[in-house]
């Protein structure tokens, strides 16, 4: 059994304020298939005490639940059309330079250069 929640778990979006608004600068954007438009999900419910905060949905979301930002939409909740039909499975392909690496999606073959700039 996984010790952290997945976006498919029933409690993954407990106390989330709602879906993020669709960005105006990407007119053909689609809801992220990983986080369902929330930009992230809960990994653990009530992982931290509220201390001096009132027990409200907003405060539990901000201070109590252990959350993760979505790695498919980078927390925006929306993706381009070409990224909406599946969640990319990035695999290291090759090193292109000192800190420049090429990753490729094992599902669709899309490539992504990542510069770690040490």
The domain ranges of the chain are 1-84, 88-118
CA separation, residue 19 to residues 16, 38, 43 (Å) = 8, 5, 18
3-class secondary-structure state, position 61: helix
pLDDT greater than 80 at residue 118? no
Please state, in angstroms and rounded to a whole number, the distance separating the CA atoms of residues 108 and 26: 22
Predicted TM-score (pTM) of the model is 0.82
Please state, in angstroms and rounded to a whole number, the distance separating the CA atoms of residues 5 and 14: 11
pLDDT in tens, 10-43: 999 999 998 999 988 888 999 999 999 999 999 9
Phi, psi of 76 (to 5 degrees): -85, -25
What percent of the chain clears pLDDT 70, i.e. is strictly above it?
A: 97
Residue with tokens 């992504």: 112
In the numeric block, which tokens belong to residue 117? 């700039």
Q: Mean of the pLDDT values across residues 79-107?
A: 94
């Amino acid at each position: 059994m996984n010790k952290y929640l997945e976006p498919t778990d029933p409690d993954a979006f407990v106390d989330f304020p709602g879906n993020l608004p669709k960005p105006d600068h990407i007119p053909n954007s689609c809801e992220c298939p990983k986080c369902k438009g929330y930009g992230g999900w809960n990994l653990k419910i009530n992982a931290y005490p509220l201390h001096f905060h009132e027990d409200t949905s907003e405060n539990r979301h901000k201070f109590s639940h252990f959350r993760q930002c979505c790695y498919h939409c980078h927390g925006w909740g929306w993706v381009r059309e070409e990224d909406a039909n599946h969640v990319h499975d990035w695999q290291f392909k090759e090193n292109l330079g000192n800190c420049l690496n090429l990753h490729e999606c094992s599902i669709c073959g899309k490539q992504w250069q990542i510069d770690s700039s040490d």
